Amino acid sequence: MDLSSRNIELGGINAAAFFGVNNQNLKHLKSFFPKLSIVARGHKITVKGEEEIIDQFELKLSLLLRHFDRFNSLSENNIDNLMLSDGEKMLHTDNGSETLVHGNGGVKIKARTVNQKKLVDSIQKNDMVFAIGPAGTGKTYTAVALAVKALKAKEVKRIVLTRPAVEAGENLGFLPGDLKEKLDPYLMPLYDALRDMIPPERLAEMIQYGVIEIAPLAFMRGRTLDKAFVILDEAQNTTIMQMKMFLTRMGMTAKFVITGDMSQVDLPGKQRSGLAYATSILRDVEGIGIIEMGQSDIIRHKLIAKIITAFEQQEQLDKQKKYERGTEKP
């Protein structure tokens, strides 16, 4: 098959910033096109390979250049998102989303990936949304930002944040200290998100007066949560009965967001996760949205995506080995 060669001019952009420190962005871009020879010199990129693949490369490169021209920055996470089949959608919104809330110091907090934007859109259309995906995809952070936004807009009167304290076996009596001291370590990720969005003094006041409530899942039993934005975090660690209990706490004017990571189930024994069960039976229910996030949504350190991939690959190998051993038994 005949190979083609094409020179692509980058125009008047800052090529060094576009390619990244030590050409990290360029190297990452190359990883999506292993069949092409891609060489960059100054403001010119020379590409060699099959004509059709070069066309695909040039199309994606134009998206990256448009992103860089608009936001004056480009990261590996941006490249991951723009390489998706619907990556161009990222360019038709304000870097993925409108500002959800202005955090401390005036920082704009917004959805930063395609699926985070889908989560924002889904909660606008539905009263209950499940957000499922690995660590670092911004599930909880985006949900908390949506809750703070709703509270500031007076769409709800309070925020309720909860998660199962499965690490402590939901039996906190054996831990030292008063109730708050016992619970805080398990609820720290929720506090961390709130601290980014609400000044410390104001946050303490809102918690004191119950405008923001942070409590373990066991405390939800027997209640009706109305006029509230309610987030259940780490929902993969709920049992089926706990999940049913929580979902049926929903009041007439409440918003519920349930987040979890099915690769981090810590339930004892072989109990089935309430999150897995709920999403399987509620997937087609009108008024309930289910958003599935992936590695392209990870916005923590770039190594996290690689770590997750390595673990997932090894888990698949382990499962295959167990299956093969099982079939080899007489």
pLDDT tens-digit readout, 161-217: 998 876 544 455 544 455 566 667 767 888 888 998 888 899 999 999 999 998 888
Give the CATH number of the domain where residue 122 resides.
3.40.50.300
Domain-located, residue 318:
no
Domain-located, residue 307:
no
pLDDT in tens, 238-296: 999 999 999 999 999 999 999 999 988 888 878 899 999 999 999 999 999 999 988 77
Residue with the larger pLDDT of the pair 68 and 290:
290
- CB environment 47-68: b (16+ within 10 A), e (fewer): bebeeebbeebeebbebbbebb
Domain-located, residue 85:
yes
pLDDT of residue 84: 77
* Domain C-terminal end among 29, 56, 91: 91
Read off the tokens for 174: 């054996």
Give the CATH number of the domain where residue 57 resides.
3.30.1370.10
Neighbours of 325 (CB within 10 A): 9
Same domain membership, residue 180 and residue 39: no
